[in-house]
């Protein structure tokens, strides 16, 4: 079960990163701008770099390489997502779609904050059970 | 192979695969169509803008205002062409507003209708049916109503709209407004203003 949960978390980041990378970065930039948090140059940087972070982190979680480290990275990411969505909802910003999965899935921010909070909790639990999570992983192969 | 080398290899493979896929997909740009009637400004202008629009999209209405301001201020320096990208799964009147616009274009009244449709968007967007409002606008714009009705009943206008939406999708467009400013893709009005400021500081 712990391995399955690791694969799910890894898949979330893999799919999310892949979708954003295969689409023009301007689409993700537009989604970031809607949150009205970052200055413009940082928004552009995040739009171009963050999908790569998602992709690589997702791949590493999926195959179980450097698992404790990438799970900590995932925890930070989910924490950031919850904060960003939370502030957007509090400020009643006009977000039609959270932009989380690019064009693949359109999720309302209210739904997405629930899912991200659940994922945050799940990732925390995975971090507390590393030996079980690392079954059938490259980490266990390298010892 | 040790763990560090494998890590490096995996990152290299991922970057190579995705980088290769992006290169294969190629840079997206949209050329101007010299025959297109939904155009405004100086066709020889140094700043050429192709806009993919959904007439019920609030950000598009804002974009129309922004571009209108620039066109008024720099009439010889901007050329604008409009293409359809109705978000029919999100906006109830996306297709019908595009149909009326295309039928207006066939009578040379695209901009006359657009100048009424966009400022009043927040009103007609709330309606169950916006057609009576669009018909009234068409009359005010001086359109031939019989020709309009013929156009609306035919499949041709819908085909043009769907073809342009497919073109937009092939260029990677998923939201509106999306602009190609001298072939550079720009999404949303914040990026539109920032890009226009680079040409008109």
pLDDT in tens, chain B (201 residues): 788 999 999 999 999 999 888 887 766 666 667 667 799 999 899 999 999 999 999 999 999 999 999 999 999 999 999 999 999 988 999 999 999 999 999 999 999 999 999 999 999 999 999 999 999 999 999 999 999 999 999 999 999 999 999 999 999 999 999 999 999 999 999 999 999 999 999
Long-range Cβ contacts of B2-8 (<8 Å, 24+ apart): B2/A142, B3/A65, B3/A66, B3/A138, B3/A142, B6/A65, B6/A138, B7/A60, B7/A65, B7/A66
- The 8-class DSSP code of residue B175 comes to S
Q: Collapsing DSSP states into helix, strand and coil, what is residue B79?
A: strand
- Distance from the Cα of A92 to chain B's closest Cα (Å) equals 16
Kindly give the parts of chain A with pLDDT less than 50: none
User: Hey, where are the domains in chain A?
Assistant: 2-131
Cross-chain CB nearest to A24 (options B6, B58, B185): B185
Do B174 and A23 form a contact (C-beta atoms < 8 A)? yes
- What single-letter DSSP state applies at residue B53? E
Q: Which residue of A has its CA nearest to B194?
A: A40
Q: Are A65 and B3 in contact (CB under 8 A)?
A: yes
ipTM for this prediction? 0.88
Q: How large is the angle between the packed helices A25-33 and B189-199, nearest 10 degrees? A: 110
Render pLDDT for B27-70 as a digit per residue (tens, 0 to 9): 666 666 766 779 999 989 999 999 999 999 999 999 999 999 99
Candidates B4, B10, B11, B14, partner chain A, best to mutate (most A CBs within 10 A): B14
Distance (Å) from the alpha carbon of B154 to chain A's nearest alpha carbon: 32
Residues 6+ positions from B146 with CB-CB distance below 8 Å = none
For an interface test with A, which of B9, B89, B188, B195 has the most A Cβ atoms less than 10 Å from its Cβ? B188
Which tokens belong to B127? 């309606």
């Amino acid at each position: 079960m712990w391995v399955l949960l690791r694969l799910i978390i890894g898949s979330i980041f893999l799919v999310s990163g892949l979708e954003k990378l295969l689409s023009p970065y301007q689409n993700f930039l537009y989604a970031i701008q809607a949150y009205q948090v970052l200055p413009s140059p940082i928004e552009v940087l995040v739009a171009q770099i963050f999908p790569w972070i998602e992709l690589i982190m997702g791949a590493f979680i999926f195959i179980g390489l450097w698992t404790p480290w990438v799970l900590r990275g995932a925890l930070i990411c989910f924490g950031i997502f919850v904060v960003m969505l939370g502030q957007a909802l509090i400020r009643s910003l006009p977000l039609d779609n959270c932009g989380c999965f690019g064009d693949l899935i359109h999720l309302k921010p209210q739904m997405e904050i629930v899912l991200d909070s659940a994922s945050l909790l799940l990732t925390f639990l995975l971090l507390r059970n590393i030996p079980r999570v690392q079954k059938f992983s490259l980490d266990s192969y390298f010892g | 192979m040790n763990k560090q080398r494998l890590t490096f290899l995996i990152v290299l493979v991922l970057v190579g695969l995705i980088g290769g896929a992006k290169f294969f997909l190629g840079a997206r740009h949209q050329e101007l169509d010299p025959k297109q009637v939904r155009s405004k400004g100086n066709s020889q202008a140094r700043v050429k803008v192709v806009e993919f629009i959904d007439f019920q999209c609030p950000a598009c209405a804002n974009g129309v205002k922004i571009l209108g301001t620039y066109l008024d201020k720099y009439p010889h320096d901007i050329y604008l062409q409009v293409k359809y990208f109705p978000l029919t799964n999100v906006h109830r009147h996306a297709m019908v507003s595009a149909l009326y616009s295309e039928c207006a274009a066939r009578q040379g009244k695209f901009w006359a209708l657009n100048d009424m449709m966009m400022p009043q968007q927040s009103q007609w967007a709330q309606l169950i049916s916006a057609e009576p409002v669009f018909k009234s606008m068409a009359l005010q714009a001086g359109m031939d109503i019989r020709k309009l009705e013929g156009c609306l009943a035919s499949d041709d206008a819908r085909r043009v709209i769907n073809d342009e939406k497919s073109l937009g999708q092939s260029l990677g467009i998923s939201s509106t407004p999306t602009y190609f400013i001298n072939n550079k893709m720009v999404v949303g009005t914040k990026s539109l203003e920032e890009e226009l400021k680079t040409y008109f500081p």
